Amino acid sequence: MERFPFTPDYGAQQQTQPRILKAQFGDGYAQRSEDGMRTVLPRWALQFNARRKKEADAIEAFLQARKGVESFEFVVPSSAWDVTNSPVGTGDGARTQYLLERPVAPEVPDERVPATGWTAPPQVHMDGVLLSVGADYVLSSSGLVTFTAAPASGAALTFTGKGERVARVVCESWSSTVKSFNSHDVSAEFQEVAG
């Protein structure tokens, strides 16, 4: 599946509206249930402002080629991350499970979130020594590291990795505005699709 190669401007708006089935009864009572297996699929309103004609034409050509029906990959704005020797924890001789967490953004290193959506499995180190996945630990997609033996008391655990959230989307509508000579704005709405 092809990936959308353009980066939208900051300020991308994400909207989520769960798909539900609703039966409304005469006495004001309503019964609700999920409509399908993946009922929460976000939608993004994206802007590509002040782009040169060549890039604006390339964005439109990419979208036109898919005609609103063919899905493509899209890197969700502000989801990319890259860390080197990020702390995981300190061994205590008993605990075997640790969660890989990364800073939510480089500007706020103390606010951390689970490190998921890897482009390649993260590398885990103990006291600066690279460990072997499968032999020394098991790594789940949620970022949970389970060591085969509890790290020694005081052992510094770190990891290096990078990732991003890639969504499978379609674009059913977009528009283009000529702002001035060789300056174009493109607006598009991407809808995540199941599957």
Residues 62 and 101 in one domain: no
Residues 65 and 108 in one domain: no
d(CA 153, CA 88): 14
Q: Residue 154: inside a domain, yes or no?
A: yes
Residues 155 and 85 in one domain: yes
Provide the domain limits for residue 142. 81-163
| Residue among 47, 73, 37 at smallest CA distance from 165 | 73
Give the mean pLDDT of the chain. Answer: 92
**17 has a pLDDT exceeding 90:** no
Q: Residue 175: inside a domain, yes or no?
A: yes
Which residues does residue 126 pair with via DSSP β-bridges, in sequence order?
129, 157
Per-residue DSSP letter, 94: S
Residues 88 and 143 in one domain: yes
Per-residue DSSP letter, 115: -
Per residue in 81-94, pLDDT tens? 999 999 999 999 99
**pLDDT above 70 as % of the chain:** 99
Q: What is the pLDDT of residue 60?
A: 97
Q: Residue 53: inside a domain, yes or no?
A: yes
Residues 120 and 147 in one domain: yes
pTM summary value? 0.71
Number of folded domains in the chain? Answer: 2
Q: What is the pLDDT of residue 21?
A: 85
